[in-house]
């Protein structure tokens, strides 16, 4: 009988503890719903926004991972780990898709937890749209409208970052400066629309010939640059030869006439003591030499 009485008291204490925990969780959830909009409005950086949401959600709902996927904007951001149980939400505002957000953990989400998630997602969608619109504006400012390639400003920023990384990790880095041969003649003979067509064809050919880790830019006019990460002089020379061969097989049509294209390339590999301006200057001088020696070729600089 005594043992039975103790069990009853233990059950009462356990029930009271569970009820108290539920009350505290409800209070925490209500507080989070109130403060979350202010927290999320502190940034326009998409990754930082999702990190904040992930961290804030953890305070009231334990989960293993969060992921946002939005292919139209090439966004796929992951936080934490993927587990067995998932809940997925297609986020949108005014019929505008913001992507698919997924939450993951080792045990199933309860109905109450799902309702809480949905309430919190209502606080996320407006800051999320603001971040995506801000990112689109940044991307547009660094994208060449004709070719869709990153532009000169994007090149300058990217090259500085790659040089810092190469020096810090003692890795090779090479730069190609590419110019369409006789481009003024193409514009004069076939018109500016054909010149634009030639630019887009060259841009696509460059992109198709590169590794994922390499990035081509439209530097300006008929000039392009290619940053070759982790790439020494010999490998860069092979890339340059491949680009020459690929472009030589391109034919541009203006509707009634067609013409072939060639390019010239200057190649330089980063020295340990130079900056982005010096690296570009050496590659640009090599390009000039390729032009003066007859075009449709590449010239590589010496690192001595």
Q: Which residues are catalytic?
A: 222
Place of tokens 């979350």: 36
* Residue 21 near residue 15, CB atoms below 8 Å: no
Residues present in the chain in total? 304
* Range list of H helices, 170-300: 183-190, 192-209, 233-248, 276-292
- Among 228, 187, 186, which Cα is nearest to 210's? 228
Rounded distance between C-alpha atoms, residue 215 and residue 229, angstroms: 9
- Taking the CA atoms of 115, 116, 117 and 120 in sequence, report the sign of the dihedral they define: positive
* Residue 287 near residue 179, CB atoms below 8 Å: yes
Rounded distance between C-alpha atoms, residue 118 and residue 90, angstroms: 11
* Residue 205 near residue 224, CB atoms below 8 Å: no
């Amino acid at each position: 009988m005594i043992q039975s009485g103790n069990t009853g008291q233990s059950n009462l204490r356990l029930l009271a503890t569970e009820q108290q925990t539920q009350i505290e969780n409800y209070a925490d959830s209500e507080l989070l719903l109130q403060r979350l909009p202010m927290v999320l409005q502190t940034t326009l950086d998409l990754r930082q926004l999702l990190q904040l949401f992930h961290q804030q959600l953890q305070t009231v709902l334990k989960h293993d991972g969060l992921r946002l996927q939005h292919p139209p904007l090439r966004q796929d951001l992951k936080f934490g780990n993927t587990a067995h149980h998932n809940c997925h939400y297609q986020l949108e505002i005014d019929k505008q898709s913001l992507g698919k957000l997924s939450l993951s953990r080792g045990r199933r989400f309860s109905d109450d937890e799902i309702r809480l998630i949905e309430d919190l997602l209502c606080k996320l969608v407006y800051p999320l749209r603001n971040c995506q619109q801000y990112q689109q504006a940044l991307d547009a400012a660094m994208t060449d409208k004709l070719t869709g390639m990153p532009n000169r400003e994007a090149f300058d920023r990217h090259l500085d970052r790659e040089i810092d990384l190469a020096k810090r990790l003692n890795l090779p880095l090479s730069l190609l400066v590419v110019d369409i041969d006789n481009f003024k003649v193409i514009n004069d003979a076939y018109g500016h629309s054909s010149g634009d067509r030639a630019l887009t064809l060259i841009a696509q050919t460059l992109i198709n010939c590169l590794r994922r880790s390499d990035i081509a830019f439209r530097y300006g006019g008929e000039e392009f640059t290619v940053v070759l990460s982790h790439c020494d002089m010999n490998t860069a020379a092979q890339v340059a030869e491949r680009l020459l061969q690929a472009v030589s097989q391109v034919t541009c049509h203006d509707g009634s006439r067609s013409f072939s294209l060639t390019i010239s390339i200057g190649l330089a590999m980063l020295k340990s003591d130079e900056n982005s301006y010096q690296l570009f200057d050496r590659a640009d001088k090599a390009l000039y030499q390729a032009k003066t020696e007859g075009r449709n070729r590449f010239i590589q600089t010496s690192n001595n």
